[in-house]
Homo-oligomer: A and B are copies of this chain.
Amino acid sequence: MRSRPTMSDIARIVGVHVSTVSRALDPKTCHLISPDVVAKIGEVAQKLGFRPNAAGASLRTNRSRTIGIVVPDITDPVFPPMIRGVEDVLSERGYAVVLANTDGDEGRESEIVSSMLARSVDGLALASSRFEDKLIPRIGDVPVVTVFRETKKPVAPCVIFDERAGIRHALTHLVSLGHRRIANIAGPRTISTGYTRWEAFEATRRELRLPLDKRLMVFADGFNEQEGARCAEALLARTSDFTAILCANDRLAVGVIDVLRRYGLRCPEDVSVTGFNDMPYADRFVPALTTVRVQQYKAGREAARLLIEAIEGGAARRTRPLRIVLPVELVVRASTGVAAVKGKTRRGIAAAR
């Protein structure tokens, strides 16, 4: 197959100048050209299967109709729906999406962003930012949105979830089942979700006048099953005096439930467990996970909308960037139940040792 036709090819065939072709093919300028010429050009373009060369346009305009999405790891099930949301909105508008994984590495994130800027991305959706972000201010004038996460200083618009409400719902739910001694397996506080969910747990704990016991508090170094398991082990090594565990996300909860089972503790009969995110298939796990449902797909769409607005709506830089907080919803399933009699849990744990 020959190499793709260019505007000059069309110009030559129709017998006009390239610039005329350019104008005729651009909806914004085609009204400047006589209708019949526009029609003719459109026709020929169609017949040749013409597609404007993106590099040429990009070089000239310094825009690429491409946006970058940066996630820690696409295999974490919370991200695909979000990415899909971004893609759905953007592809409709003719934007392409370039995707990269950071594995939570700050250096890598910086490297990736830099390479995306070199590709003249028109915007960036970052799901990889740390709470104390140092990267975004260095990005310059390319629109940036953070998704799922926010930064301590509001340096960019963000689309996040109502973490506080989610944690409050989960904790209140546990208390309503009679739980009083509730452990918290929190996420890394270097990430806004980890930080905020932990903070919300503490705030709600005080509100509900639950006892403070430092042994019931464990911090994970990441939002995954391994860390959930590690933290559960650490918790059980310290104390057995609890009847429920609130986890900062579903994957931690899954790891926790594994360890409970290994210790001969039943969930929810001996220990109730809650997660966060309502990740895909959380309703089919054993036990089905009680968790906080967030709108991952919608977050992606909103992020894309924000980006397009910033890109096309003349970057009306606000003094304080937008902060879109999506509502959440508690989903009660099988991993939570009425509080076990304290003695029973203790015995269960002791027996497992």
Contact A280:B75 (CB < 8 A) given known A87-B101, A98-B96: yes
Chain B residues near A74: list those with CB within 8 A. 74, 80, 83-84, 87
Contact A1:B141 (CB < 8 A) given known A115-B51, A118-B54, A119-B96: yes
Contact A55:B59 (CB < 8 A) given known A84-B74, A100-B97, A280-B77: yes
Bound: A88/B284 CA distance, A = 30
Bound: A3/B118 CA distance, A = 11
Shortest Cβ gap from A145 to chain B (Å): 18
Contact with B along A49-76 (1 / 0, CB 8 A): 1011111101100101010000001110
Contact with B along A74-110 (1 / 0, CB 8 A): 1101011101100110010010111111000000000
Shortest Cβ gap from A315 to chain B (Å): 13
Report the nearest B residue to A284, measured CB to CB.
Answer: B285
Of the candidates B64, B81, B280, which one forms a contact with A55 in the assembled complex, judged by CB atoms under 8 Å apart?
Answer: B64
Report the nearest B residue to A88, measured CB to CB.
Answer: B101
Of the candidates B1, B49, B88, B98, which one forms a contact with A97 in the assembled complex, judged by CB atoms under 8 Å apart?
Answer: B98
Report the nearest B residue to A334, measured CB to CB.
Answer: B286
Bound: A80/B118 CA distance, A = 26
Across the interface, do B117 and A66 meet the contact criterion of CB distance under 8 Å?
Answer: no
Give the interface size bracket for A toward B: 35 or more
- Quick check: is A211 within 8 A (CB to CB) of the other chain? no
Report the nearest B residue to A285, measured CB to CB.
Answer: B284
Chain B residues near A81: list those with CB within 8 A. 75
Bound: A1/B140 CA distance, A = 5
Residues 1-47 of A contacting B (Cβ, < 8 Å): 1-4
Contact A4:B117 (CB < 8 A) given known A58-B55, A285-B286, A286-B284: yes
- Quick check: is A231 within 8 A (CB to CB) of the other chain? no
Chain B residues near A115: list those with CB within 8 A. 51, 94, 96
Chain B residues near A91: list those with CB within 8 A. 100-101, 112
- Quick check: is A120 within 8 A (CB to CB) of the other chain? yes
Across the interface, do B118 and A52 meet the contact criterion of CB distance under 8 Å?
Answer: yes
Chain B residues near A88: list those with CB within 8 A. 101
Across the interface, do A54 and B98 meet the contact criterion of CB distance under 8 Å?
Answer: no
Bound: A284/B255 CA distance, A = 11
Of the candidates B51, B98, B280, which one forms a contact with A118 in the assembled complex, judged by CB atoms under 8 Å apart?
Answer: B51
Residues 136-160 of A contacting B (Cβ, < 8 Å): 138-141
Chain B residues near A54: list those with CB within 8 A. 55, 58, 118-120
Residue from the set A2, A64, A83, A96 with the largest chain B CB neighbour count within 10 Å = A96
Report the nearest B residue to A116, measured CB to CB.
Answer: B96
Task: Write 8 A-B pairs (CB below 8 A) sorted by A numbering.
Answer: A1-B141, A52-B118, A55-B56, A73-B84, A74-B80, A84-B101, A96-B98, A254-B284
What 10 A-B pairs are tightest by C-beta distance, nearest first? A1-B140, A51-B118, A55-B58, A55-B59, A54-B119, A75-B80, A74-B80, A284-B285, A99-B99, A55-B55
